[in-house]
């Protein structure tokens, strides 16, 4: 019994070893295969180590039914056949199962095996059935789509084996942020939702695509459906250039761009404008062919598409135009000379850019601030002034104003001191500015005692007064020739018109040779004169004594008084005053007692003589031109004749040859005699 059991075990082991040694194995294993519905499929199978006449079997759906043995295929599978080099008796061992016009029922598990194959393997044939149509996209909760609202899109795919997987794409980018998991409603339909909580304008125009993919791109092209998002959003205005600066008369193109969905309508208007040229609806551009200064302002570009709110853009238009001066002052302004009130002229100008306004004196580069102010007006202020308005972009604008100063005369210059030497000339200029012109310009001289006298041309020896009038001033020129120390003093120029007067003083100081030299010369002259006088007196007295001793019947030698020419002047000894005075040259037609015919002191009453003296003179037939005291008397009628001649007008004429000092002395004596004042 035990031996039989041992024998059986050994037999089994022998068979197992035999079977392992001579068992078949896969040369090429069958692979899972997918095939498109209606296509052809091949399941490969090849063995090594097949025994002779060992059969190869294919089993398949449903439930691994026998399809073929060797190369023979069951009649139940007319669309299947075996190919390869595995015909019966062939040792190549290739038995490929071919299926044509694959149908859905062909899908399932297939097995290629043989009796000696230890571990046969199963493979699956998948029959791919594409969806009946591309997926569809269903929109929920938004119609129309407006920015700011939410949006839900559903992708649905119907049919297909296997059911496709669904995915959302934004363009080429898979969109999974707001996508929900796909739901299979049944074996024949699947859906996939995408939810957008907040739409923006950036969502407008994008392509949202739903892709149904069965995972077999080599067999089935994924199906897709796309929609272009139409998101309505309010308009937005963009202004490329917000500021324009254009010269007057030039064209300008005001441009704005507007976006929105739907496309907005654009209108233009000017804020606060007094007028509007043309239609307000101008599209994206507003063209003004020739701008004027009235076009300056802010222009609004408004875009509206019915989706609130509308939007506006602003453009500032600045027009450059040259400066122009407004009429704020007269062309000629009359002002009073030396007025205490402040005087000013204000100039206003318009222009763009805002002009700089200044004043300048005409034909000068001297500028003044605006307004033009004068704290004190004088004739130097008078003239033509220009208001100048200038800017960088244009040439300057100029308007003139004439300031005419009227009033009392104004003599230029301050008090002045002039030094001169004896014998020289002194010229004094009095320059007067006056409007109206001066009625008179008078020169006067004031001596050291404060007495003034009026000077006129020819009234003083060597004095010349000249006048000249121009458009700007009046000149009075006083010339003193051959001045002496007596010419020293204050000379006053006085100009007068209807508004008043003005004066200017000149102090003239005349200097001569040194004092010692003057004293020596004077001493010599005095001694010479005294000696001459003594000689003359001696000769005269001697003749008088001789004439007095003679009897009346006897005459002295007749003849005219002898003329004694003395240098440098004729001297007469006045016995009455015991002084020496210069005696003028004798005039033969005049009575020798009428002294001082051409002497400056003619206006002084003549000395009276006693009757005896006059008698003595009448008894002497040989009279001398010199005066003496005589005993005796003149006839009364002769005295009255002399007095009448003395008071005659010819004795009141002032000499034309005198200096200023002598002129003043003569005037004093004349006034004292007649008892009249100078002024």
Judge whether residue 132 has pLDDT over 70: yes
- What pLDDT was estimated at residue 556? 42
pLDDT value of residue 7 = 57
CA distance 610 to 608: 7
pLDDT digits (tens, 9 = 90+) for 411-455: 988 898 988 998 899 999 999 988 889 999 999 998 878 888 888
pLDDT of 223 strictly over 80:
yes
For residue 592, pLDDT over 80 is answered with no
Q: Which residue has the tokens 């802010």?
A: 298
Compute the average pLDDT of residues 243-254: 93
Answer with the residue of higher pLDDT: 118 or 608.
118
* Better-scored residue on pLDDT, 615 or 636: 636
End-to-end CA distance of the chain: 200
> How high is the mean pLDDT of the chain?
76
DSSP-assigned states of every residue in 438-485: PSEEEEEEE-TTS-EEEE-TTSSTTEEEEEEE-SS-EEEEEEE-S--G
Q: Which of 143, 153, 198 is nearest to 175 (CA)?
A: 153
What pLDDT does residue 306 have? 92
- pLDDT at position 517, please? 56
Distance (Å, whole) CA 60 – CA 309:
70
Confidence at residue 553, expressed as pLDDT on a 0 to 100 scale: 46
Quick check: 403 pLDDT over 70? yes
Query: Given phi > 0 = left and psi -120 to 50 = alpha, else beta, which region is 306?
Result: left
Cα separation, 351 vs 338, in Å, equals: 36
- pLDDT number for residue 233: 94
CB 391 within 8 A of CB 354: yes
* pLDDT of 648 above 90: no
Is pLDDT above 80 for 601?
no
Q: If you average pLDDT over residues 591-599, what whole number do you get? A: 33
Residue 649, classed as helix, strand or coil, is helix
Rounded-to-integer distance, Cα 182 and Cα 193, Å: 7
Q: What is the pLDDT of residue 184?
A: 64
Q: Distance (Å, rounded) from C-alpha 349 to C-alpha 390?
A: 9
What's residue 471's pLDDT?
A: 79
Residue-wise pLDDT for 281-336, tens only, equals: 446 787 888 999 888 899 999 999 999 999 999 999 999 999 999 988 888 888 88
Mean pLDDT to the nearest integer, 97-106: 92
**pLDDT for position 67:** 92
pLDDT at position 178: 62
| pLDDT number for residue 618 | 38
CA-to-CA distance for 319 and 92, rounded, in angstroms? 102
pLDDT of 247 strictly over 90: yes
Do residues 43 and 107 lie in contact, with contact meaning Cβ atoms separated by under 8 Å?
Answer: no
Residue with tokens 């407006």: 146
Q: pLDDT grade, residue 19 (50/70/90)?
A: very low
Q: Using CA atoms of 290, 293, 298, 300 in order, give the dihedral in degrees to the nearest 10.
A: -30
Task: Report CA 227 to chain centroid distance, whole Å.
Answer: 61
pLDDT at 349: 94
Could you write out the three-class secondary structure of 516-544? Answer: HHHHHHHHHHHHHHHHHHHHHHHHHHHHH
> Tell me, what's the pLDDT at 505?
93
Average pLDDT over residues 62-67: 89
Share of the chain above pLDDT 90, in %: 31
Dihedral angle computed from the Cα positions of residues 491, 497, 500 and 505, in that order, rounded to the nearest 10 degrees: -10
Tokens representing 239 are 């202004």
pLDDT band at 387 (very low <50, low <70, confident <90, very high): very high
Count of H-run helices and E-run strands, the chain = 5, 46
| Angle of CA points 261, 262, 263, to nearest 5° | 95
Angle at 526 (CA atoms; ends 524, 531), nearest 5 degrees: 95
CA atoms of 346 and 359, how far apart (whole Å): 9
d(CA 492, CA 476) in angstroms, rounded, equals 12
Query: pTM for the complete prediction?
Result: 0.48
Peptide bond into 48 cis (omega under 30): no
Q: Are 419 and 511 in contact (CB under 8 A)?
A: yes
**Cα distances (Å, whole numbers) of residue 119 to 91, 122, 386, 499, 517:** 20, 10, 123, 149, 174
Are residues 434 and 337 in contact, defined by beta-carbon separation less than 8 angstroms? Answer: no
Domains in the chain (CATH in brackets) are 25-128 (2.60.40.10), 136-229 (2.60.40.10), 233-322 (2.60.40.10), 326-408 (2.60.40.10), 412-511 (2.60.40.10), 517-674 (no CATH)
Structure confidence at residue 235 (pLDDT)? 94
Q: Show the tokens assigned to 472.
A: 């700007």
Phi, psi of 417 (to 5 degrees): -110, 130
Closest of 590, 594, 584 to residue 627, by C-alpha? 594
Region of poorest pLDDT, from 137-146, 240-249, 262-271, 446-455 = 137-146
Secondary structure (3-state) at 322: strand
pLDDT for the residue numbered 654? 32
Q: What is the pLDDT of residue 544?
A: 61
Query: Which is nearest to 35 in space by CA: 221, 222, 218?
Result: 218
Tokens of 144: 């129309």
Q: Token pair for residue 507?
A: 């102090």
CA angle 249–250–252, rounded 5-degree value: 130
Question: Does residue 396 have a pLDDT over 80?
Answer: yes
594 has a pLDDT exceeding 60: no
Helix axes 636-647, 611-619, angle to 10 degrees: 100
- Report pLDDT for 279: 42
Which 3-state string (H, E, C) describes 175-187?
CCCCECCCEEEEC
More confident residue, 597 or 237: 237
Q: What is the mean pLDDT of residues 118-146?
A: 86
Of 46, 127, 21, the residue nearest 79 (C-alpha): 127
Tokens of 353: 């850019």
Three-state DSSP class for 25? strand
pLDDT value of residue 455 = 86
**In whole angstroms, how large is the CA radius of gyration of the chain?**
75
- Candidate from 66-80, 116-130, 218-232, 552-566 with smallest mean pLDDT: 552-566
Q: How many residues does the chain have?
A: 679
Q: Are strands 108-114 and 189-196 parallel, antiparallel or unpaired?
A: unpaired
| Predicted local distance difference test score (pLDDT) of residue 604 | 34
CB-CB contact of 478 with 463 (8 Å): yes
pLDDT class of 238 with cuts at 50, 70, 90? very high
- 34-43, 169-178, 508-517: the lowest-pLDDT one: 508-517
Pairing of strands 500-511, 416-421: parallel
């Amino acid at each position: 019994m035990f031996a039989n059991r041992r024998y059986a075990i050994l037999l089994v082991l022998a068979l197992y070893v035999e079977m392992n040694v001579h068992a078949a194995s896969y040369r090429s294993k069958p692979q899972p295969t997918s095939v498109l519905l209606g296509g052809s499929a091949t399941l490969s199978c090849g063995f090594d180590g097949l025994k002779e006449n060992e059969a190869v079997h294919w089993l398949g759906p449903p439930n691994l039914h026998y399809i073929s043995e060797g190369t023979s295929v069951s009649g139940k599978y007319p669309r299947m056949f075996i190919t390869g080099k595995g015909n019966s008796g062939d040792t190549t061992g290739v038995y490929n199962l071919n299926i044509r016009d694959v149908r859905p029922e062909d899908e399932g598990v297939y097995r290629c095996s043989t009796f000696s194959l230890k571990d046969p393997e199963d493979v699956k044939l998948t029959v791919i059935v594409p969806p009946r149509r591309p997926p569809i996209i269903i929109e929920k909760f938004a119609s129309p789509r407006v920015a700011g609202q939410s949006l839900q899109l559903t992708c649905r795919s119907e049919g297909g084996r296997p059911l496709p997987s669904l995915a959302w794409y934004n363009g080429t980018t898979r969109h999974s942020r707001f996508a929900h998991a796909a739901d299979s409603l049944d074996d024949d339909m699947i859906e996939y939702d995408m939810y957008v909580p907040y739409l923006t304008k950036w969502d407008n125009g994008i392509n949202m695509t739903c892709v149904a993919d069965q995972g077999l791109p080599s067999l089935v092209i994924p199906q897709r459906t796309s929609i272009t998002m139409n998101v309505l959003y309010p308009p937005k205005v963009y202004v490329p250039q917000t500021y324009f600066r254009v010269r007057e008369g030039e064209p300008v193109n005001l441009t704005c761009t507007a976006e929105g969905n739907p496309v907005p309508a654009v209108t233009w208007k000017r804020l606060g404008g007094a007028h509007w040229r043309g239609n307000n609806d101008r599209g994206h551009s507003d063209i003004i062919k020739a701008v004027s200064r009235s076009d300056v302002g802010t222009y609004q570009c408004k875009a509206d598409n019915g989706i609130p709110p509308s939007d506006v853009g602003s453009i500032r238009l600045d027009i450059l135009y040259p400066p122009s001066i407004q009429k704020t002052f007269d062309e000629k302004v009359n002002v009073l000379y030396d007025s205490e009130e402040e005087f000013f002229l204000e100039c206003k100008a318009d222009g763009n850019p805002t002009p700089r306004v200044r004043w300048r004196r005409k034909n000068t580069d001297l500028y003044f601030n605006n307004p033009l102010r004068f704290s004190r007006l004088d004739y130097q202020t008078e003239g033509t002034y220009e208001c100048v308005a200038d800017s960088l972009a244009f040439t300057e604008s100029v308007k003139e104003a004439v300031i005419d100063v009227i009033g009392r005369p104004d003599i230029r210059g301050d008090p002045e001191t002039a030094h001169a030497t004896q014998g020289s000339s002194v010229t004094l200029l009095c320059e007067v500015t006056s409007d109206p012109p001066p009625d008179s310009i008078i020169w006067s001289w004031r001596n050291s005692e404060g007495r003034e006298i009026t000077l006129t041309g020819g009234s003083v020896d060597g004095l010349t007064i000249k006048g000249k009038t121009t458009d700007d001033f009046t000149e009075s020129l006083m010339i003193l020739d051959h001045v002496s120390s007596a010419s020293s003093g204050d000379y006053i120029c006085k100009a007068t018109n209807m508004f008043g007067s003005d004066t200017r003083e000149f102090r003239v100081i005349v200097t001569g040779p040194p004092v010692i030299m003057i004293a020596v010369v004077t001493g010599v002259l005095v001694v010479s004169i005294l000696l001459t006088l003594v000689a003359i007196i001696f000769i005269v007295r001697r003749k008088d004594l001789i004439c007095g001793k003679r009897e009346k019947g006897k005459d002295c030698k007749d003849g005219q008084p002898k003329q004694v020419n003395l240098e440098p002047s004729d001297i007469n000894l006045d016995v009455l005053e015991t002084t020496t005075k210069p005696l003028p040259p004798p005039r033969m037609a005049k009575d020798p007692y009428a002294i001082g015919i051409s002497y400056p002191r003619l206006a002084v009453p003549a000395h009276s003589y006693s009757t005896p003296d006059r008698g003595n003179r009448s008894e002497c037939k040989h009279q001398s031109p010199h005066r003496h005291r005589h005993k005796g008397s003149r006839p009364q009628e002769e005295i009255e004749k002399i007095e009448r001649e003395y008071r005659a007008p010819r004795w009141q004429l002032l000499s034309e040859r005198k200096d200023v000092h002598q002129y003043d002395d003569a005037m004093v004596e004349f006034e004292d005699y007649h008892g009249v004042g100078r002024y």
